[in-house]
Structure 1
Amino acid sequence: MPDAETRSVADEAGTLVPTPPEEWEADVVLRDGSVAHLRPIRPADADALRRFHNAQSAESIYLRFFAPLKELSDRDVHRFTHVDHHDRVALVATVGADIIGVGRYDRLGGSTSAEVAFNISDRFQGRGIGSVLLEHLAAIARELGIEKFTAEVLPQNRKMLMVFKDAGYEVTHRVEDGVVELSFAIEPTEHSKAVALSREHRAESRSMHTILFPERVALVGASRREGSVGALVLANILRSGYQGELVAIHPEVDELQGVPAYRSVEEAPGPIDLAVVVVPADQVQGVVRDCGRAGVKALLVLSSGFAEAGEEGTRLQEQLRREVRLAGMRLVGPNSFGLINTHPDVRLNASLAPMVPPPGRLGLFAQSGALGIAVLASAARRGLGISVFASAGNRADVSGNDLMQYWIDDEDTHTVGLYLESMGNPRKFSRIARQLAMVKPVVVVSSGVSSFAAPPGHRTRRTQVPPQAFDALLRQAGVIRVENIHQLFDVAQLTLHQPLPAGQRVAIVGNSDALGSISASACLSWGLDVTHGPVSLLPQASADEFASALEAAFADPNVDSVVAGFIPPLMTLDEDLTAAVRAVVARHQKPCVATFLGMRGVEGGLSYEEADGTDRIVPSYTMPEDGIRALNAVTRYAQWRARDRGAPVVPAGIDRLRVEAFIDRVLADSPDGRALTRDEAAELLEGYGIRLWPAAAVGSADEAVAAAERLTYPVILKSTSPVVRHQPGIAGLRSDLGDAEAVRDAYESLSQRLGALGDGTFVVQRMAVPGVSCVLTAQEDPLFGPVVSFSVAGPPTELLDDVAHRIPPLTDVDVRDLISGVKAAPLLAGHRGAAPVHRAALRDLVARLSVLADDHPELASVELNPVNAWTGGVDTLGAEVVVRPALLRQDPGRRRMT
């Protein structure tokens, strides 16, 4: 990271004061779901710090300073507000203009230890502010070379003792002179990481619960004018039977549609949990300030005219975002289609949809209003009930990530459907989606992940990686990706109403040869195994005959799922048949998908109750291919859910600090970054246990011979010209050179043959044993962060784009999947009699590269090419590394809202 002391500004007295990096600032969600802003302390905070201290109780002051310090002296205030942001760092948590918490550390001498202390406002204690401050201070301290925190705490200060105890670090303590002395290493452990993620989850889930379960709602912009948005939304809330207290905000009337009206939110009886805003865009900022003064917890802004409308709208949206977070609130929107919660304790339709699907177990998230209409309409046509629907609009604050945090623990939601038009934080999405997918299916429709595909108004970054990287991210997370809304509901109606399949073996039963043939072909095309049937009864077969055939299919131990197809002879669905199907399916814990002509969805008499009382429905599809596509997607999800998640890769022999120091030296000499020389690349890679084979650049035949003598024979001679390396059919390499004469002849031959193409650039390298040449890369992407890729070198990479991708941090299972994820993977297993490569060594190399990329965002790109994988190990023969100033990652490893 940049040296904070190289930048400074003058304070009120004209003294130069260092300024900290911008990335130290962050908005965070607290334990109660409210929002606070974390930032480094400033000299201008003197008055705010005095107000903070003066508002504290005598007990809190004593616990912090070990003395009854009634007022802070000018000297104390100056010392507390003037820090160097290196050896002395202080962060403040603020809401509005008020400081609500202070955390600081002071390095002990010139050591790698620092003493840490906290002071939390009495009014805000119990909201997790101390834990957040500790988390951020520890991350900053690690970046600045501090390895251990110490603290002195009075024994009666139980809250602060719990902050340290519950942080997940290995804390040692002793009592001396009536004071508890604590110390702990601040390098993250798996436990401390899990603690931080758990706290983030609880806080963000709580903030969404406040939004979705409001006890008091204020509609700002309610209107008397028929057909207006304000009148429509008010009518929708009333029609839904909202169970809480509703007030309208209108400047002129005292009542609207039987709802009491007030001139402002401040005048309304409080507290207000959710303010639904439908005023014009240029009036929203005033509403936000009114809501902030009234203590409103969250805003739902349906108003349009923000970033989707152009430059001025973008400015208004950024102001809205800043004002909302400054006031400690959450924001859904702007340009949102609205929120719906069908829970019987809420029954809130705060949206533009006059009619909503019935209550159910499907959670839905969509970003734009138009797609919100389509999603709700499609669910209603299918007879699928919803639990929660949310539209984030321009996604200035609340996103799909927040809703997923809530759905992880929501017992009323059994399947989650997301329609994503853009993604602002894929890394965070990946880890939250993975946690959610472990307990319930997540079905995603996504039209793109970069700013090229993002709708106007969505804040995102351009990605430089191929679309396959996004596909890999979803697969890693266990997400079911589909192409459109129809497929989303095809999958949802199966996951909601049938058990997950235990495997990919399928039985096919029907009364039509054509349907049976179509079904079997569809199964084979999706990689499902047809192990029973197709069984085709006569079109005139009775319900009992159909039931017997179904029973045989379900009872077959070699069957995991059943596909049923039925064409009624009179184009009507016979009740006897549906009763027979219900009875058979109810007796077995295997999923069934059906094609009954004239039916689609989960209505029409195919519902049944299992022995344990669980309500089920046999989902019906217009054509077998639709149901089998859904069945395949759910089968793959079930396999992902059942498999071992793996353990995070932690290669031995890594020297992170050494590599950090090396990168800092490079950027000190080249602030804009540059490509490393081969020797520099070797030094950097060695810090992570990756040995780059030596090679000597030569400019003459004599130099080539001398290099070969140093490296020992046999050697290779190759051109390093990019033109030669990437042009098919141009041989720029001579191998198996066993003596000086062979090296000299090869040099002269290549020089003459390549001419200007060779550019006179050659290297000599010891010859590796025969193996499979591979390419490993790590790229720091503005949107995704680090992306690790693997491929087999040559045509599979250069012509067929046969490249697999994964997003760190990786588990050992991820590493295995990455290597086996390319179509050319059989070459690694010993193709046509060749010896198989050393998989363990190749996995170790991938793991080291992934950890290197995850640890150092300054590494713009690392390419290991070629990597020779052979039966005895792997040899890294070439490497190209580019270093540049680090991009601010969207998910930096400490809690922050994006």
Structure 2
Amino acid sequence: MSEDLPAGYPHLAEADVVLRDGSVARLRPILPSDAEGIHRFHSGQSEESIYLRFFAPIRRLSDKDVARFTQVDYVDRMALVALVRDDIIGIGRYDRVDESSAEVAFNISDSYQGKGIGSVLLEHLAALAQERGITRFEAEVLPQNRKMLGVFSEAGYEVSRRYEDGVVMLHFDIAPTAQSLSVRFAREHRAEAASVRALLHPRSVAVIGASRRERAIGHQVLAHVLDTGFTGAVYPVNPEADEVLGLPAVATVSDLPGEVDLAVVAVPAESVPAVVRECAAKGVHGALVISSGFAEVDERGAALQDSVLRVARDNGMRLIGPNSFGVLNLDPALRLNATLSPQVPPAGFLGLYSQSGALAVANLYSAARRNLGVSVFASAGNRADVSGNDVMQYWIDDDRTHAVGLYLESMGNPRKFSRIARALAANKPVIVVKSVISSGAPVPGHRVRSARVQPHAFTSMLKQAGVIHVENVHQMFDAAQLLLHQPLPAGRRVAVVTNSHQLGSIITANALAWDLDVVHGPVAVGTEASVADFTTALQAAFDAEDVDSVVVAFIPPVGALDQDVVEAVRESARRSEKPCVATLLGLRGVDTGSLVHEDGPASDGAAEGTQDDVAQQAPERPGQAVPLYGMPEEAVRALALATRYGMWRAKDKGDPLVREGTRIADAREVIDAVLADDPDGRALTDDEAHRLLTAYGIDLWQRVEVETADEAVHAAEELGYPVVVKSLSPLVRGQSLLDGIRVDLRDADAVRAAFTAMDQHLAPLDANYFVLQKMARSGIACVLGTVEDPLFGPVVSVGLAGAPTDLLDDIAYRIPPMTDVDCREILDDLKLAPLLDGYRGAPPTDRRALEDIIGRLSLMCDDLLELSSLELNPVMAHQDGATVLGAEILIRPAQRRSDPGRRALG
């Protein structure tokens, strides 16, 4: 917006949102310049809608009313408009009626009712109101306005109603509850899944830039769409040709003869914005931009990419790319190959997502070589709009996808990824290829924030979400072929059957390294054993009651592998409900009855051919086939990953944290006062830190700053003996060579002597600034913290105090919102966790007390965007509780989170 914005205009309230039907709308705070748009909106409403909103037949709004509607202070009076193609389609507003309550009202365009706009506006208004100290909404609704009554009743809040003077009076608290969050996430999921489904299940495809030159990208994509037998309508768009590949071509998008669901754009980069604008005017639902030359090239390309995205979103469209490799949907009822790859894997049940174009090729070829069936493949390219998060939303409900694999070069919204991945992994394995999220140079074309937390925070996030983390594509397919075609292991107990003592030893060692327990074997039948002997050993392993899974390795001493051995493994696994992984000489992939050789696809051509061939081979459901591995180490690793996932899926995930003893309004009062005095933010004083922590039920022990020995004695007598004197200088913290603390001081003489000695010792280092504090009970010193990370959002960290933690980098992380189980497991992740449980006869600490503080920190950093960093150090954990002795808290102005507390596209 080029106009001068009003004072206090909240930029953070701007958002693109997906509506119920999968289309996109723009939300932003209202502006005085919206007056004409309000008049147009109102004049387009039916008499019934006007009456339901204003309780009177007001055919035209007065200029005075419109001025009052459009001129707000964005604090006590807030209004949001929803727009599509710059037209207002919905208005939501609140007006404060007292310190903690506001009246809320909505007006939705007749032509857009039923798309969830009212629900989205309510979510955003509630979040904005809470940030301004409002905790309760009220509304007046006519009884016949069932749609608006439904918006309130279905939002997940506890709504009270009363009927008064012909009007329904509604009141409800707007603080998030488990129910309201569940409703919000469910609506977000349904909308985003619908938007992606429209892209992946088109009834018609237009290829814009469909050239007659065989080497041109547009020609290749069109050829692949046709070769795989796409069941919908196909339209080439080429201004210089009457026909392309036997199909009649049209000159422009506007000339297309019918509706188009998906536009595949393969024109020069500078032409893409105009093409997308034409698509929007034509009513095309979504665009797949294959063209390159955008943010992956330079800043000019980045600006061009931004313009393409803005055109798409302003017109309600979703967009894949630019610089995408394409999408593939092998549903036999669709048969869509809108990619640059002529190689088509068999149709099956693995969903694949890749950001890299080069690795997209590798993914498809590798799946084909392994005879591993694919349901849907999507390449996001520069992921200007559609990302892995969106595709995961689609996969949650896709019946043809039973496991997913994602190759991530970067991540724009880890917080949302964690939330969606956890929901997906609850029913389907999620395998992610990504080394680390680092602060290094970003991938060309990918705009990401730099992370402040350590790289293993990313690994912790994946573990928290139940994601299977692997190092490369090879490992991803190793895990996928097991997870798709075998039952999940019930536990860690493994049987090993082989025909070589050396192989048995290798497998056992690898199993132990992966925390598997070999309880049966290794059984080595000998190199000269018959197939019958091998079969007997196999059956005994599968029949053993204390075995959860079976590892088989058979390497013939001379010549080719005996087919009877393969059949024995196949039949033993088929009859059992226990998973089996196998290493058989020269074979790799999924054995569905035809062998998969390491040097290429199956001999019967199952990995090649047209989509007609693939569709005929695709089963209606995945059968129990044996996954084959070239080396036993690969088989064991895949089994270990499947075992960990199975145990995560079976375990109790915990309950959301309760807010007992928390007072958000008191915390906001502290933060608002700090930022009013210091707009750039600052560190809190001890008194401010105490008030902020108290608002969340955390008791920070008082400490008194002292500059002289007399002040130290006076403070000690006020606090009560015994006391501690310590330096606050970072030079002495955690240093054993610099004495920065004296403990257990029981009288005035001891305090005076300790202060004088430390003052003399530390003055030359300018480290002689001290505090005095009551002596706490001895225990294990812990450091609990939070940080508002630019990439991850709020992050909770836990470690033990001292040099060992720093040397071992022994810090555990979790991403809020956390459950009670997360609070427990973050402590279990520490290498030094045994110290908390009573190491070598020491009394165990009260871990529940630590978990309670961790949970409160999680709620605090999730609620307060201005909480830049917080460190509680030390927190003394002992047998009967945990004592918070120190706190350093930094407040900064709120920044936009990648996953705010309301629905929005990243």
TM-score bracket, shorter-length normalisation: over 0.9
Question: Aligned partners of 1:112 and 1:864: how far apart in 2?
Answer: 31
Aligned residues of 2:485 and 2:622 also touching (Cα < 8 A): no
The alignment status of 1:230 with 2:218, answered yes or no, reads yes
SS in 2 for 1:266: helix
Question: Aligned partners of 2:213 and 2:433: how far apart in 1?
Answer: 37
Aligned residues of 2:497 and 2:538 also touching (Cα < 8 A): yes
Structure 1 residues 97 and 819, CA, compared in 2 at 3 Å: closer, same or farther? same
Structure 1 residues 663 and 181, CA, compared in 2 at 3 Å: closer, same or farther? same
Aligned residues of 1:451 and 1:460 also touching (Cα < 8 A): no
Question: Aligned partners of 2:276 and 2:471: how far apart in 1?
Answer: 38
The correspondence for 2:657, drawn from 649, 661, 664, is 649
Give the aligned partner of residue 877 of structure 2: 869
Q: Give how far 1:651 is off.
A: 4.3
Give the aligned partner of residue 264 of structure 2: 276
Equivalence map 1:60-459=2 (5 Å): 60-108=49-97, 110-450=98-438, 452-459=440-447
Give the aligned partner of residue 819 of structure 1: 827
Give the aligned partner of residue 888 of structure 1: 896
Question: Aligned partners of 2:161 and 2:891: how far apart in 1?
Answer: 42
How far does the alpha carbon of each residue in 1:441-470 deviate from its partner, in whole angstroms, 9 at most, with x for none?
000001443452531111110000001110
Aligned residues of 2:14 and 2:29 also touching (Cα < 8 A): yes
Aligned residues of 1:421 and 1:448 also touching (Cα < 8 A): no
SS in 1 for 2:249: strand
Question: Aligned partners of 2:559 and 2:676: how far apart in 1?
Answer: 78
The alignment status of 1:640 with 2:648, answered yes or no, reads yes
SS in 1 for 2:496: strand
SS in 2 for 1:885: coil
Q: Which moved more, 1:211-220 or 1:762-771?
A: 762-771
Give the aligned partner of residue 4 of structure 1: none
- Residue identity matched to 2:562: D
SS in 1 for 2:248: strand
The correspondence for 1:772, drawn from 776, 780, 787, is 780
Question: Aligned partners of 2:585 and 2:567: how far apart in 1?
Answer: 16
Give the aligned partner of residue 878 of structure 1: 886
Structure 1 residues 826 and 606, CA, compared in 2 at 3 Å: closer, same or farther? farther
SS in 2 for 1:27: strand
The correspondence for 1:516, drawn from 493, 504, 514, is 504
Q: Give how far 1:541 is off.
A: 1.6
Aligned residues of 1:578 and 1:605 also touching (Cα < 8 A): no
The alignment status of 1:58 with 2:66, answered yes or no, reads no
Question: Aligned partners of 1:725 and 1:585: how far apart in 2?
Answer: 59
Q: Give how far 1:10 is off.
A: 6.9
Question: Aligned partners of 1:758 and 1:727: how far apart in 2?
Answer: 15
Q: Give how far 1:613 is off.
A: 8.8
Q: Give how far 1:62 is off.
A: 2.2
Q: Give how far 1:868 is off.
A: 0.6
Aligned residues of 2:499 and 2:526 also touching (Cα < 8 A): yes
- Residue identity matched to 1:477: A
Q: Give how far 1:603 is off.
A: 3.6
Structure 1 residues 125 and 686, CA, compared in 2 at 3 Å: closer, same or farther? same
The alignment status of 1:564 with 2:552, answered yes or no, reads yes
- Residue identity matched to 1:488: M
Aligned residues of 1:578 and 1:606 also touching (Cα < 8 A): no
Aligned residues of 2:348 and 2:622 also touching (Cα < 8 A): no
Give the aligned partner of residue 628 of structure 2: 620
Question: Aligned partners of 2:439 and 2:246: how far apart in 1?
Answer: 45
The alignment status of 1:500 with 2:488, answered yes or no, reads yes
Q: Give how far 1:312 is off.
A: 0.5
Question: Aligned partners of 2:837 and 2:828: how far apart in 1?
Answer: 10
Structure 1 residues 744 and 18, CA, compared in 2 at 3 Å: closer, same or farther? closer
The correspondence for 2:454, drawn from 447, 451, 466, is 466
Give the aligned partner of residue 760 of structure 1: 768
- Residue identity matched to 2:497: V
Question: Aligned partners of 1:823 and 1:481: how far apart in 2?
Answer: 20
Q: Give how far 1:666 is off.
A: 0.6
Aligned residues of 2:436 and 2:459 also touching (Cα < 8 A): no
The correspondence for 1:35, drawn from 14, 24, 36, is 24
Give the aligned partner of residue 25 of structure 1: 14
Q: Give how far 1:548 is off.
A: 0.9
Question: Aligned partners of 1:65 and 1:689: how far apart in 2?
Answer: 44
- Residue identity matched to 1:193: L
How far does the alpha carbon of each residue in 1:317-337 deviate from its partner, in whole angstroms, 9 at most, with x for none?
111111110111000000001
Aligned residues of 2:438 and 2:455 also touching (Cα < 8 A): no
Give the aligned partner of residue 854 of structure 1: 862
The alignment status of 1:670 with 2:678, answered yes or no, reads yes
Structure 1 residues 10 and 512, CA, compared in 2 at 3 Å: closer, same or farther? closer
Identity of aligned residues (%): 59
Give the aligned partner of residue 842 of structure 1: 850
Give the TM-score of the pair, scaled to structure 2: 0.95
How far does the alpha carbon of each residue in 1:132-187 deviate from its partner, in whole angstroms, 9 at most, with x for none?
11111111122222222222222222222211111111122233333322222222
- Residue identity matched to 1:83: V
SS in 1 for 2:95: strand
Question: Aligned partners of 2:655 and 2:779: how far apart in 1?
Answer: 29
Aligned residues of 1:425 and 1:891 also touching (Cα < 8 A): yes
- Residue identity matched to 2:63: D
Give the aligned partner of residue 601 of structure 2: none
Question: Aligned partners of 1:186 and 1:733: how far apart in 2?
Answer: 47
Question: Aligned partners of 2:129 and 2:353: how far apart in 1?
Answer: 38
Question: Aligned partners of 1:418 and 1:633: how far apart in 2?
Answer: 16
Structure 1 residues 795 and 571, CA, compared in 2 at 3 Å: closer, same or farther? farther
Aligned residues of 1:595 and 1:621 also touching (Cα < 8 A): yes
Give the TM-score of the pair, scaled to structure 1: 0.96
The correspondence for 1:832, drawn from 827, 831, 840, is 840
Aligned residues of 1:357 and 1:376 also touching (Cα < 8 A): yes
The unaligned stretches of length 5 or more in structure 2 are 597-616
Q: Give how far 1:536 is off.
A: 0.1
Aligned residues of 2:724 and 2:745 also touching (Cα < 8 A): yes
The correspondence for 1:660, drawn from 644, 663, 668, is 668
Aligned residues of 1:448 and 1:454 also touching (Cα < 8 A): no
Q: Give how far 1:122 is off.
A: 1.5
Runs (4+) of structure 1 moved beyond 6 Å?
A: 8-11, 606-609
Question: Aligned partners of 2:777 and 2:138: how far apart in 1?
Answer: 53
Structure 1 residues 221 and 613, CA, compared in 2 at 3 Å: closer, same or farther? closer
Question: Aligned partners of 2:4 and 2:585: how far apart in 1?
Answer: 78
Aligned residues of 2:734 and 2:802 also touching (Cα < 8 A): no
How far does the alpha carbon of each residue in 1:649-703 deviate from its partner, in whole angstroms, 9 at most, with x for none?
1242111111101111111111111112222222221111111112222222222
- Residue identity matched to 2:496: I
Give the aligned partner of residue 589 of structure 1: 577
Question: Aligned partners of 1:488 and 1:69: how far apart in 2?
Answer: 62
Aligned residues of 2:133 and 2:668 also touching (Cα < 8 A): no
Aligned residues: 883
SS in 2 for 1:724: coil
Q: Give how far 1:19 is off.
A: 4.4
Give the aligned partner of residue 688 of structure 2: 680
SS in 1 for 2:697: coil
Question: Aligned partners of 2:893 and 2:207: how far apart in 1?
Answer: 47
Aligned residues of 2:758 and 2:768 also touching (Cα < 8 A): no
SS in 2 for 1:789: strand
RMSD: 1.8
